[in-house]
Amino acid sequence: MGKEAGTGFSGFSVHETFTRVPDSFFRKLLAQIDDLDELRATLYAFWWVEHVEGPAHGLRREAFGAFAAGVEKAVARGSLLRVQTEAGEWFFLNSPRGRAAVEAIRSGKLDPSRLGSTPPVERSNVFILYEQHIGPLTPLMADRLRDAEQEYPAAWFEEAFALAAERNVRNWRYVEAILRRWKEQGKDGEVRKGAGKVVRRYVEDEFAEYFPDEDHSG
């Protein structure tokens, strides 16, 4: 069957990034939502929280844009949480992280004016980065990359691949080792010392086994 006339959508691509949605949304919440604006606002909040950076993923009302009409119903249902401060009105998903952020704001431990409300930056996903920096993608490698996407923040991949490229290392094991190191020992501050310095330390230290000069395979 051909594309339906007037849809203007050419289909999803093999290089899509994805947004995780809790199973309880499909098992419980979806059947309860009977308003299209509420559904749009809820799904938009899931997308925002998945892709925005920072410790607390709050949205201002204006961040919802065309989907703002459903915010009040989402708050009334309990899928979104609202907190009002002198800095303005903020919305969070009713998730463990969202509830913690709301409590931190109400207790004065978190200043919401420092959160910002900038839309998530569109980033190259891990499949594109792999093909750009390492080579053609195989089905087995694609499965490994999908697993990595579930384990590490999306914002880390571009930087990890860039570090590998600086050493001219076309090896996924090396990129994965960087990601693992950041997850286990912390990332912030380390890379800011200078990408070249970090790469040299990896080369000379425990990651040397991942990038011998004669082996640039994934």
The answer to whether 60 and 89 are in contact (CB under 8 A) is yes
Q: Report the distance separating Cα 118 and Cα 218, nearest Å.
A: 35
Spatial CA neighbour of 127 closest among 115, 141, 109, 114: 141
Q: Which residues pair with 92 in a beta bridge?
A: 81
Q: Report the distance separating Cα 146 and Cα 139, nearest Å.
A: 11
Q: Report the distance separating Cα 115 and Cα 94, nearest Å.
A: 18
| Predicted structure pTM score | 0.59
Q: What is the pLDDT of residues 58-96, one digit of tens each?
A: 899 999 999 999 999 999 999 999 999 887 899 999 999
What is the pLDDT at residue 121? 63
The answer to whether 92 and 81 are in contact (CB under 8 A) is yes
Token pair recorded at residue 182: 């950041």
The DSSP element (H or E) to which 147 belongs, if any, is helix 139-151
Domains of the chain: 23-114 (1.10.10), 126-210 (no CATH)
For every residue of 34-83, DSSP letters joined together read --HHHHHHHHHHHHHHHH--SSS--B-GGGGGGGGGGHHHHHHHTSEEEE
Q: What is the pLDDT of residues 129-186, one digit of tens each?
A: 888 889 887 878 888 888 898 899 888 998 999 998 888 888 899 999 999 999 888 8
Spatial CA neighbour of 202 closest among 155, 170, 169, 157: 169
